[in-house]
């Protein structure tokens, strides 16, 4: 077992900037040197039988480094051979001693970085049985979401067996060397299925009132405690607010009663959660203001005496620092901020805030889990490749002089990665600011200003690695002659254009970029020509201003380029604002008072409008041929290659940066 490191934060800038985050706290008999916890994260990096892989170990080792002595929780393990508790194809298992070697390596990897190794038991209940034709729950309440399996009601024998399996898996956690343990009752998994009146309709001792519905939790806590002994801190993740009003479910008061019952049953710390996967209320998307859910941590602090921790959109360290200072929270948990940047809290401690790669709350990581794919991150190309040496930036064999045309996310990502490898890199940006389309996208509504955090991060990294900036300067053939670089990276992005249809001169045409920037003059009835992200941004901004908006697009659904875990939010918002959509459609002609939409089944629909917003993007790569003629090596990245997403821009930039 690794030697425990001693942590002294007193000389670190972050400990002064955030005085409450780096103070010790006691959970049961264990003193944790700070208030930081990496929250459990399924990553689908284990093999199909639940064995931990080198990729999973290295993923966790980086996060363990990041918590600088705090708690680092391993993903929730499933505990039954039948796999009813398994929610993800690559979920780690702990139903047999054969898993011990892998679990031991995991605990050692975490402790080796001086972090506290936390182990999580997670039976996924209604969200389980991912490899089966059913899942299990306290009662046969039909699923609301089609992706989950039909529910089979658990018998008392099933319940007793499941509790025993929790205890046995807990024992394996202790044998593997974990130092802390938790039981997950998050987002509609088994524990919460029993506690909620929505999913627990039982009439035996495991159902009925809130006391009865908590009996499964109490029995599980008591059996796990017996298995792990008196010393080890035991934590539970419990829902404070189910947000299931449309189908019933517990009141927030009942949820607090469940907290008190957990405390009485011997729990040493409670992690506050909110919302269920079946809830229609968004909880962790970008439109949810950071810190919104802290009122639930405050309620929990008032309900129980044990320490209270919480994650959920606490991305800016100022927010948890203040909450802890005010006595409304004890421990700052993070999941996605540390998927995006595994060293996030370490950088907070070192005062390197602008070097934090920010999570943009897009939920691609979650979408991948539900599509049985290994973890990946929208903004962090190294995520889940931590063990792959060929994926890391290593010193370049031949140093090159490189010009990057375009200061958007693709160009900037490339620039600092290439510079970190020893290349001489010059970024030319024709505008007087960096950011490319992200600069525009960040003017969108509902938290989109957070997108610019990515550009701030990339700029800080460029400065750290000595990238030269030439703002307000366009790369031209003459400039290439003057500079004669070894390589030209075309990260020139897109332009917004439009096809020429009959009558087009009859209406003012404005670009979606000008709309989001607030530069365009727009009438009261608007047709948006396009259905992807820029079109959605423009539609939301204009409908928010009270304009009557219609979207016309060729694809089968709106937001084809938006990640599936996010698009439903936009669809809800567009619907609420009364935005009309014509899918698999196009504008065929402009008339005196509007446009003719060619819609499904060859129908022609006249739509009245006074402004048309053009929202389709075309790549800009005019310089490619010119540079090639001059004998300069040219690489095209980001939207200049194919208009796609911020993620593609970053990943393109990174991959080219480590290769060149």
Question: Which residues of this protein are in contact with ligand SF4, per CB under 6 A?
Answer: 336, 339-340, 359-365, 377-379
Contact flag: residue 42 with ligand FMN (CB under 6 A)? yes
Residue 202 site contact among ligand SF4, ligand FMN, none (CB < 5 to 8 Å, cut-off depends on kind): none
Name residues whose C-beta falls within 8 Å of residue 182's C-beta, 6 or more positions apart in sequence.
Answer: 40, 73, 118, 119, 120, 121, 234, 235, 236, 237, 271
Hey, what's the torsion of the CAs at 45, 49, 50, 53, to 10 degrees?
-50
> Shortest gap between Cβ of 29 and ligand SF4 (angstroms)?
34
Q: What DSSP string runs through 592-647?
A: TTEEEEE-GGG-EEEEE-SEEEE--EEE--THHHHHHHTT-EEEE-GGGTS---HH
Tokens representing 2 are: 């690794």
Which of 21, 154, 221, 335 forms a contact with ligand FMN (CB under 6 A)? 335
Least CB distance from residue 310 to ligand FMN, whole Å? 8
Which of 22-30, 331-339, 394-402, 410-418 is the region at the interface with ligand FMN (rule: CB under 6 A)?
331-339
> Which DSSP string corresponds to 372-413?
T-----SS-TTTT-TT-GGGS----SS--EEEEE--SHHHHH
Distance of alpha carbon 298 from alpha carbon 79, whole angstroms: 33
Burial class (CB in 10 A: 0-12, 13-18, 19+), 3: exposed
CB of 237 to ligand FMN, least distance (A): 5
Contacts of 8 (CB under 8 A, 6+ apart): none
How many other C-beta atoms lie within 10 A of the C-beta of residue 134? 12
Q: Of the two residues 5 and 373, which places its CB atom closer to ligand FMN in the complex?
A: 373
Number of residues that bind ligand FMN (CB under 6 A): 22
- Residues 26 and 7: their CA atoms lie apart, in Å, by 15
Structural element, H or E, at residue 464: helix 452-464
CB of 64 to ligand SF4, least distance (A): 17
Which residue lies nearer to ligand SF4 by CB, 240 or 379? 379
Residue in 122, 127, 303, 609 binding ligand FMN, rule: CB under 6 A: 122
40 interface partner picked from ligand FMN, ligand SF4, none, CB below 5 to 8 A per type: ligand FMN
Query: Taking contact as CB under 6 A, which single stretch among the options 317-325, 335-343, 511-519, 634-642 is the one that binds ligand FMN?
Result: 335-343
The answer to the question of residue 323 lying near ligand FMN (CB under 6 A) is no
Question: Over the range 576-593, which residues count as b (16 or more CB within 10 Å of their CB) and which as e?
Answer: ebebebbbebbbbbbeee
340 binds, among ligand SF4, ligand FMN, none (CB under 5 to 8 A by kind): ligand SF4
Q: Which does 408 bind (CB under 5 to 8 A by kind): ligand SF4, ligand FMN, none?
A: none
Contact between 110 and ligand FMN per CB under 6 A: no
Quickly count: other Cβ atoms within 10 Å of residue 603's Cβ.
10
Burial class (CB in 10 A: 0-12, 13-18, 19+), 602: exposed
Find, among 42, 45, 44, 67, the residue nearest to 56 by Cα. 45
Other C-beta atoms within 10 Å of 523: how many? 14
Nearer of residues 113 and 316 to ligand FMN, judged by Cβ: 316
Nearer to ligand FMN, 41 or 279 (CB): 41
Retrieve residue 155's tokens.
């018998």
Please report how close the Cβ of residue 465 comes to ligand FMN at its closest, in angstroms. 29
Region binding ligand FMN by CB under 6 A among candidate stretches 15-23, 155-163, 307-315, 413-421: 307-315
Q: Should residue 284 be labelled a site residue for ligand FMN when binding is judged by CB under 6 A?
A: yes
Can residue 334 be called a binding residue for ligand FMN (CB under 6 A)? Answer: yes
Nearer to ligand FMN, 169 or 520 (CB): 169
**Contact window for ligand FMN (CB under 6 A) among 16-24, 364-372, 542-550, 619-627:** 364-372
To ligand FMN, the closest distance from the beta carbon of 194 in angstroms equals 16
Q: What is the DSSP letter of 126?
A: G
Q: How far is the CB of 364 from ligand SF4 (least distance, A)?
A: 4
Q: What are the two backbone dihedrals, phi and then psi, of residue 34, each rounded to the nearest 5 degrees?
A: -140, -175
| 311 touching ligand FMN, by CB under 6 A | yes
Query: 364 contacts which partner out of ligand SF4, ligand FMN, none, CB within 5 to 8 A by kind?
Result: ligand SF4
Cα-based distances in Å from 243 to 40, 247, 353, 495: 22, 9, 33, 42
Residue 379 binds: one of ligand FMN, ligand SF4, none (C-beta under 5 to 8 A by kind): ligand SF4
C-alpha gyration radius of the chain: 27
What is the rounded CA–CA span in Å between residue 240 and residue 197? 14
Q: Which does 377 bind (CB under 5 to 8 A by kind): ligand SF4, ligand FMN, none?
A: ligand SF4
In the bound complex, what is the minimum distance in angstroms from residue 334's beta carbon to ligand SF4?
A: 10
Residue nearer to ligand SF4 on the CB measure, 339 or 427: 339
CA atoms within 13 A on the CB side of 166: 30
Return the number of the residue (90 or 114) whose C-beta is nearest ligand FMN: 90
- Give the one entry of ligand FMN, ligand SF4, none that residue 362 binds, where binding means its C-beta sits below a cut-off of 5 to 8 angstroms depending on kind: ligand SF4
365 scored as a contact of ligand FMN (CB under 6 A): yes
Q: Hey, how many other C-beta atoms are within 10 angstroms of the C-beta on 556? A: 10
Binds ligand FMN by CB under 6 A, chosen from 159, 269, 272, 366: 366
Q: Closest separation between CB of residue 653 and ligand SF4, Å?
A: 16
Q: Among the candidate windows 12-20, 332-340, 561-569, 607-615, which touches ligand FMN by CB under 6 A?
A: 332-340
The least distance separating ligand FMN from the CB of residue 122, rounded to whole angstroms, comes to 5
Give the nearer residue to ligand FMN in terms of CB position, either 59 or 590. 59
Within 13 A of 92's CA, how many CA atoms are on the CB side?
33
Q: Say which entry of ligand SF4, ligand FMN, none residue 312 contacts (CB below 5 to 8 A, set by partner kind).
A: ligand FMN
**Pick from ligand FMN, ligand SF4, none: which does 106 bind, CB < 5 to 8 A by kind?**
none
**Residue carrying structure tokens 């208009």:** 643
Binding to ligand FMN by residue 35, rule CB under 6 A?
A: no
Given 105, 313, 346, 465, the residue binding ligand FMN (CB under 6 A): 313
Binds ligand FMN by CB under 6 A, chosen from 336, 423, 465, 644: 336
> Is residue 130 part of the contact set for ligand FMN (CB under 6 A)?
no
Question: Shortest gap between Cβ of 72 and ligand FMN (angstroms)?
Answer: 12
Contacts of 251 (CB under 8 A, 6+ apart): none
Note whether 37 binds ligand FMN by CB under 6 A: no
643 in Cβ contact with 491 (< 8 Å): no
Q: Could you say which of ligand FMN, ligand SF4, none residue 76 binds, taking C-beta under 5 to 8 angstroms by partner kind?
A: ligand FMN
To the nearest whole angstrom, how small is the minimum distance from the Cβ of residue 184 to ligand FMN? Answer: 4
Residues 6+ apart with CB under 8 A from 98: none
**b/e map of 617-636 (b: 16 or more CB within 10 Å)?**
bebbbebbeebeeeebebbb
Residues that bind ligand FMN (CB under 6 A): 39-42, 75-76, 120, 122, 184, 186, 237, 284, 311-313, 334-337, 365-366, 369
């Amino acid at each position: 077992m690794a030697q425990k490191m001693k942590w002294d934060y007193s000389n670190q800038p972050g400990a002064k900037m955030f005085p409450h985050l780096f103070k010790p706290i006691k959970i049961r008999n264990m003193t944790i040197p700070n208030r930081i916890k990496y929250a459990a994260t399924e990553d689908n990096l284990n093999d199909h039988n639940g064995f931990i892989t080198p990729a999973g170990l290295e993923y966790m080792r980086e996060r363990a480094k990041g918590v600088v002595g705090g708690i680092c929780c391993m993903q929730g393990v499933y505990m039954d051979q039948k796999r009813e508790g398994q929610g993800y194809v690559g979920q780690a298992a702990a139903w047999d001693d054969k898993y011990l070697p892998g679990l031991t390596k995991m605990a050692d990897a975490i402790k080796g970085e001086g972090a506290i190794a936390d182990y999580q038991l997670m039976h996924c209940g209604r969200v389980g049985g991912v490899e089966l034709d059913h899942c299990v729950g306290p009662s046969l309440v039909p699923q609301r979401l089609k992706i989950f399996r039909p529910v089979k009601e658990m018998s008392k024998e099933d319940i007793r067996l499941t509790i025993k399996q929790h205890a046995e898996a807990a024992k394996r956690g202790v044998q593997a060397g974990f130092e802390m343990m938790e039981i997950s009752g998050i987002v509609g998994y088994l524990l919460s299925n029993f506690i909620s009146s929505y999913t627990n309709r039982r009439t035996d001792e495991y159902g009925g009132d809130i006391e009865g519905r908590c009996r499964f939790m109490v029995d599980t806590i008591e059996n796990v405690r017996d298995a792990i002994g008196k010393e080890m801190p035991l934590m539970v993740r419990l829902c404070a607010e189910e947000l299931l009003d449309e189908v019933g479910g517990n009141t927030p008061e009942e949820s607090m009663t469940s907290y008190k019952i957990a405390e009485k049953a011997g729990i040493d710390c409670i992690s506050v959660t909110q919302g269920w996967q079946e809830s229609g209320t968004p909880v962790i998307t970008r439109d949810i203001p950071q810190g919104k859910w802290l009122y639930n941590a405050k309620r929990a602090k008032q309900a129980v005496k044990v320490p209270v921790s919480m994650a959920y959109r606490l991305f800016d360290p100022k927010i948890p620092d203040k909450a802890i200072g005010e006595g409304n929270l004890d421990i700052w948990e993070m999941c996605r901020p540390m998927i995006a940047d595994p060293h996030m809290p370490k950088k907070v401690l070192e005062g390197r805030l602008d070097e934090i790669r920010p999570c943009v709350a897009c939920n691609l990581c979650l979408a991948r889990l539900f599509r049985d794919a290994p973890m990946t991150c929208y903004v962090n190309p190294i995520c889940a490749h931590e063990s792959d040496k060929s994926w890391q930036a290593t010193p370049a064999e031949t140093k090159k002089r490189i010009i990057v045309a375009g200061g958007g996310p693709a160009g900037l990502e490339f620039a600092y990665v290439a510079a970190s490898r020893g290349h001489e890199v010059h970024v030319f940006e024709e505008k007087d600011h960096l950011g490319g389309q992200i600069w525009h996208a960040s003017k969108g509504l509902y938290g989109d200003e957070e997108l610019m955090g990515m550009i701030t991060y990339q700029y800080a990294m460029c400065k750290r690695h000595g990238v030269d900036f030439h703002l307000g300067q366009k790369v031209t053939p003459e400039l290439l002659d003057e500079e004669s670089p070894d390589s030209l990276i075309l990260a020139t992005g897109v332009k917004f254009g439009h096809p020429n249809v009959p009558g087009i001169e009859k209406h003012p045409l404005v670009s979606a970029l000008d709309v989001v920037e607030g530069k365009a003059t727009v009438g009261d009835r608007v047709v948006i020509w396009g259905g992807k992200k820029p079109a959605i941004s423009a539609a939301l901004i204009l409908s928010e201003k009270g304009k009557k908006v219609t979207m016309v697009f060729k694809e089968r659904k709106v937001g084809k380029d938006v990640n599936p875990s996010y698009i439903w939010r936009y669809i809800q918002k567009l619907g609420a604002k009364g935005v009309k959509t014509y899918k698999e459609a196009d504008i065929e002609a402009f008339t005196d008072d509007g446009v003719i939409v060619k819609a499904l089944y060859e129908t022609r629909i006249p739509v009245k409008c006074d402004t048309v917003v053009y929202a389709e993007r075309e790549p800009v790569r005019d310089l490619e041929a010119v540079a090639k003629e001059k004998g300069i090596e040219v690489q095209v990245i980001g939207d200049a290659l194919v208009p796609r997403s911020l993620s593609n821009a970053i990943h393109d930039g990174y991959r080219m940066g480590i290769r060149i």
